[in-house]
Amino acid sequence: MSKINSCKVPSSYRTLYSIPSYRTLYIPYLQLFNFVASLGLGVCVGVSPFLASASDPAPAIVVLCLANAFAGLHTPGVQTALIQLAPAFSGIVTGIFFSVVALFSIINKLLSNTILSTGSTDEWFIVFEISAVVALLLTVFFTLWGSAERQVKHGLVKKPDPDAKSETLSENTTIVALAKLSMYLSHQVAAKQ
């Protein structure tokens, strides 16, 4: 558990650090993170059935651990994209997103169970290759169309109210007048002493 947190905490801090000082420069970085993550995940999952053997399972385990590490690289890009999609509703968007992820996880288990009727090596090969293709498709889709640009239209943007503007101007005028009066009075008091 601590290893998972030690990987996700720096990633989360990096994500939080990049949001307030948001620049267009971050979009290529996020796309690069997701490209490397999806490509590494797809390649590692796709290669692991070729390395599997009953006598020496270590290479397949190492490659699957690498696949998990590559999957962790999705965190900065996905979290930033979810927050930037609709800043005012990021909690709702994230909840909906993770609900859809949970639904697809259930579908994945059911599909894998359907494919693995006998549990043979060939059936496991099919399961891993389908997973690799899905991960590799993400490299194409997110690299071409993915973005973490702030979507202003989904935020709570208030339209300027003409009455509010005049109140602000009158308040500013009053404050300036009081400041000038205060300076005048302090100057007069200092001159009399």
Q: Domain residues of the chain, as ranges?
A: 2-157, 158-193
Q: What is the pLDDT along the chain (193 residues), one digit of tens a residue?
A: 445 545 545 555 455 455 544 444 466 777 777 888 889 999 999 999 998 887 888 999 999 999 999 988 877 777 777 777 777 777 888 889 889 989 998 998 999 999 988 988 899 999 999 999 988 988 888 777 766 565 555 555 555 555 555 555 566 677 777 777 777 777 676 677 6
Contact, 19 vs 90, CB < 8 A?
Answer: no
pLDDT for position 63: 93
Retrieve residue 169's tokens: 């101007």
In angstroms, the first-to-last Cα distance of the chain is 72
**Would you state the pLDDT for residue 1?**
47
Q: Which of 46, 69, 63, 59 is nearest to 128 (CA)?
A: 46
Residue 22 confidence (pLDDT): 47
